[in-house]
Each structure stands twice: as C-alpha cells, then as structure tokens.
Amino acid sequence: MSDNTIQVEATGFRLSEKLAHEALYPGNWLERNADDEVLLHDTAGGYSQKMVAVEDALQGHIITTVYAAGALVQFHYCLPGTRVRVFLAAGQNVAIGAELISDGLGMMTANTGTPEEVAGWAEEALDLSASACVDTLILMRVG
C-alpha cells in the first residue's frame, strides 16, 4: 500500500473531472453544485455521492498539491468497500472500525449521533485530539 496516493485500491471507483468551485485538496470529500462544479461536501452527517478528490498524477501533482478554484479536479466516485485516504478533522480520535461521517467541511469526523449516512469506517487508528494537531489523511473503507 502506498502512502502517496488517495485511491489505495485499483478497483472500486469511477474517475471523473469537474471544475473546482473552491480550493480543494486530494482527500477532500466532495459534492456537486447546480453549476456542475465540485466543492467540499457541506452537510455534516448528510448523504453524499461518495466523491473524493484525488491527486492529478498525470500532471506530476502529489497528494499535497492543492486544486485552485476554477481548476479541473480529478475525483473518484467510490463504490462500497473501496479504500481511500480522506481527511480526518483535527480534534478527532478514532479507532480501527470507527464509523466516519462527513463533518460538513469536506472532511470526516467520528460518528457520535444518528447521521443520515455513514460515509465509511476507519481502517487505521488516528488520534488528532492534541491541540497542535491538524487535519490529517486517514485510510477509510467507503460504506
């Protein structure tokens, strides 16, 4: 398994491209707007199309390369069971198997309530509860 890619497995997704409505990073959970652009998924715990921004390796970009607003974004529609790296929001502490939901800001957070949709499950433990922690990529199995 490579740590330098968002899509961990070679199957379980459909590649697509749309213009970015706002700045995005590979690993952000996405949605589409009425202008057919992609933007950060903005409904905490809400339904999603299971879209994740991926690095544009064909242009020599890596997972830390930001997509500017208006840029063409590569993203994957993920099928259930596929494994991807997504951002876990700072302040979270999750164990392997923890349910992850959208935080409404294009990242994941631990499920502590009754969301409309569980986006996936943590495939690794990650503790970002310390005050100096920042949003970090975590391996997730899509639901």
For the chain, domains (ranges, CATH) are 13-80 (2.40.340), 85-142 (no CATH)
Beta partners for residue 83, in sequence order: 141
Query: Which residue carries 């398994």 as its tokens?
Result: 1
User: Reduced to 3 DSSP states, what percent helix, strand and coil does the chain have, rounded to the nearest 5?
Assistant: 0, 40, 60
Residues sharing a CB contact under 8 Å with residue 105, sequence separation 6 or more, in sequence order: 40, 42, 89
pTM given for the model: 0.95
Tell me the average confidence (pLDDT) per consecutive run of 10 residues in the chain, 143 residues long.
80 94 98 98 97 93 96 97 97 98 98 96 97 95 96
pLDDT at 102: 98
pLDDT at 11: 85
pLDDT at 9: 86
pLDDT at 1: 43
pLDDT at 58: 87
Alpha carbon of 108 to those of 10, 43, 61, 133: distances in Å? 22, 11, 23, 15
pLDDT at 3: 75
